[in-house]
Amino acid sequence: MILVTGGTGFVGSALLPVLQSQFHEVTAVGRRTQDKSHAGLRSFGVGNIDGATMWSTELRGTDAVIHLAARVHVMLDTVSDPLAEFRRVNTEGTLNLARQAAKAGVRRLVYLSSIKVNGETTASDRPFTPNDLASPQDPYGISKHEAEVGLREISRTTGMQVVIIRPALVFGKGAKGNFKSLMKLVASGIPHPLASINNLRSFVGIDNLVDFIVTCLEHPAAANETFMVSDGEDLSTPDLIRRMARAMNRPARLLPVPVWALKAGASLLGKGDAVQRLCGNLQVDISKARSLLGWVPLVSVDEGLRRAVSGG
């Protein structure tokens, strides 16, 4: 039995059909009980996931847990204490589940963490690796890092295997956030003043991420390891726009505006962080996943973008 939390989310919705094709029984957990129309899928609603959630019914007979549910990164957070709220769900909720899973005899827990545990930007030609010193910069990243630390301790004291995955920016059909905004911008045909940006960023298509999660669920060498995952090809922001436009069969309208001018204008408009994400480097090194697990991305960046814009 495989228990998946966050089964109705972006990653969970793509993962469940793959698991169902490989395992006899899958249990999906979210805040509310979801559609049970898929054969072999059990569904439970547990309400809010935090340090008080009770998992005994859902964990009964479970061999492995894939923990996707989280309070995700919020651009404009309105709660009075964002760090406390992130910790309540992402740290306390994760560790509460892990303790109960270990007590129930779960063999392995796969945890979807975040590249934000490493930090926000990388130096040129110096991608993040799993062995780098953690340097989270915001409440979301801090809460994910604290969950990782707690999971390793639970694994050490109980013997339950833990696998931690830190994905690059995830894209695909139904993706939200920055990727969705960029897709809309490209589709609009509005010229983008981004041609002069010279950076490199890692991305991971949803199909590659799902395949990697399943690999970490099954592979003996994944036990108690931390991995980065991406499509294996890093892109500059202008290159991403060109390839996204090609996938849409639309022209890429890029204008050469100096990066300093972009940053100055964004700062005046209060959009400095957004432009930094467009201009900065954020790369991950997936050599550990390749060498230890023999994993290679199934889908190229171009095919992933085609699927993202067309749903194919």
Point out the catalytic residue in the list 55, 111, 128, 140.
140
Locate the DSSP E strands across the chain.
2-5, 26-30, 41-45, 64-67, 108-112, 161-167, 169-171, 203-205, 226-229
Give CA–CA dist 180/309, Å, rounded: 10
Question: How crowded is the C-beta side of 292, counted as CA atoms within 13 Å?
Answer: 19
> Are 214 and 295 in contact, with CB atoms under 8 Å apart?
no
CA gyration radius for the chain?
A: 20
Where are any strands of DSSP class E within 107-248? 108-112, 161-167, 169-171, 203-205, 226-229
- For residues 257 and 275, is the Cβ–Cβ distance under 8 A? no
Structure tokens given for 15: 């993962």
How many CB atoms neighbour CB 36 within 10 A? 10
Strand partners, 204: 170
How far apart CA 107 and CA 32 sit, in angstroms, is 26
8 A C-beta contact, residue 37 and residue 76: no
In the annotation, is 111 catalytic? no
With contact defined as beta carbons under 8 Å apart, do 93 and 49 qualify?
yes
Distance of CA 121 to the CA centre of its chain: 16
- Residues designated catalytic: 140
